Amino acid sequence: MKVIITENYNEMSKAAADLIAEEMNKKPNMVLGLATGSTPVGTYENLIKYNKENKVDFSQITTFNLDEYCGLNKENEQSYWYFMHDNLFNHVNINHNNINMLDGTNPDAEKECTSYDEKIEKAGGIDLQVLGMGHNGHIAFNEPCDYYSKGAHKVELQESTINANKRFFEDISQVPRASYTMGIGNIMHAKKVVMLVSGAEKAETVAKAFNGAIVPQVPASVLQLHNDFVLIMDKDAASKFSK
Ligand code: F6R
C-alpha cells in the first residue's frame, strides 16, 4: 500500500489526476473504473483540463462505474449516470459507446448484475479503479456487513449512507433505498486501485480501515490486501492515520 498525504483537497485532486493520466498515457486503451460522490469531482476537473490541453486522451478508454441507485433513470439529475456525464464524460473526447454503467431502472437485479460482471470480464478486467470511501468505510455501495461480496449485486443502503447522501436530494425521502454496485471482488480484481479521501470527518474511519484489522465490517480495510493500492488523502483525512 502506497500512501500519499497532501496539504488539501485541491492537491489531492491534482495528485490523483496526475496518477490517472500517467496510467492512461501508458495504456491508451485502458479500462478505467470510476466513482461518483463529491470526492473525485476535483480529480475529474483536472482530467478535463488535461484532455483539453491534449495531455490525456480518452478516445480509446473504456469505463465502468462502481454503482448506480435503483429506480433512477438517466435523465434524473441525482442518478450517477447524470453525474458522470455532467462531471466528466460530456467534457472529454470519450467514445460514449465505451461507457458502462449499471442500469438502476432494470428491475431484474440478477440479470443486470451478472451481465455487468460479464462485460467487465470481456473488457479484460479493470486496469485502474478509482474509489472514494464512505463515512462508515463503505467502498462502492458495499456497506459494513459480515462478509465480502464477490460480483455486482443489489444492496439496501444503510441509514448512515442515506443520511450522508441526502445533501444531493431535495429531502431525505427522495434518497433511493437501494442500489446496484460492484462487489468487493470486482474491486479487488482491478490491477491497480487508487482511493481518494478528504476531510477530518473521515479521519477516524481512515485509521480503522488502514491501521486496523481487515474485516468486512470496515469494507475499505480489504484494500490492505491489494498489491497495487494507492491511498491519496489530504492531511485532515490523514490526521488519525499512522504511517
Ligand atoms: C460512489 C461510491 C461511494 C462514494 C462514497 C464517498 O460511486 O461508490 O462509495 O465513493 O460514498 O462519497 P463522497 O465522495 O461523496 O464522500
pLDDT tens profile 1-52: 999 999 999 999 999 999 999 999 999 999 999 999 999 999 999 999 999 9
Taking the centre of ligand 1 as the mean of its atom positions, its distance from the CA of residue 161, in whole angstroms, is 9
pLDDT for 234 equals 98
Distance between CA atoms of residues 151 and 134, nearest Å? 19
User: Cα of 34 to ligand 1 centre, how many Å?
Assistant: 10
Maximum CA extent, the chain: 46
Please write the tens of the pLDDT for every residue from 82-131.
999 999 999 999 999 999 999 999 999 999 999 999 999 999 999 999 99
Residue type, 146: D
Task: Kindly indicate the confidence band of residue 165, based on its pLDDT and cuts at 50, 70 and 90.
Answer: confident
Ligand 1, atom 15, lies closest to the CA of 37
Of 46, 51, 87, 136, which one is the catalytic site residue?
A: 136
Residue written as cell 433505498? 177
pLDDT of res. 60 = 98
In whole angstroms, what is the distance from residue 38 CA to residue 222 CA?
A: 22
What pLDDT does residue 216 have?
98
> Is there a contact between 231 and 197 (Cβ–Cβ < 8 Å)?
yes
pLDDT attached to residue 40:
98
Alpha helix (H) residue ranges in the chain: 9-26, 41-52, 80-87, 109-122, 159-165, 184-188, 203-211
Q: Which of 43, 141, 169, 175 to mutate to test the pocket of ligand 1 (most atoms within 8 A of CB)?
A: 141
Band (182; pLDDT cuts 50, 70, 90): very high
**pLDDT at residue 215, rounded to an integer:** 98
In terms of pLDDT, which residue wins out, 168 or 38? 38
Share of the chain above pLDDT 70, in %: 100
Instruction: Please say if 67 is a catalytic residue.
Output: yes
Residue with cell 463515512: 135
Note the pLDDT of residue 88. Answer: 98
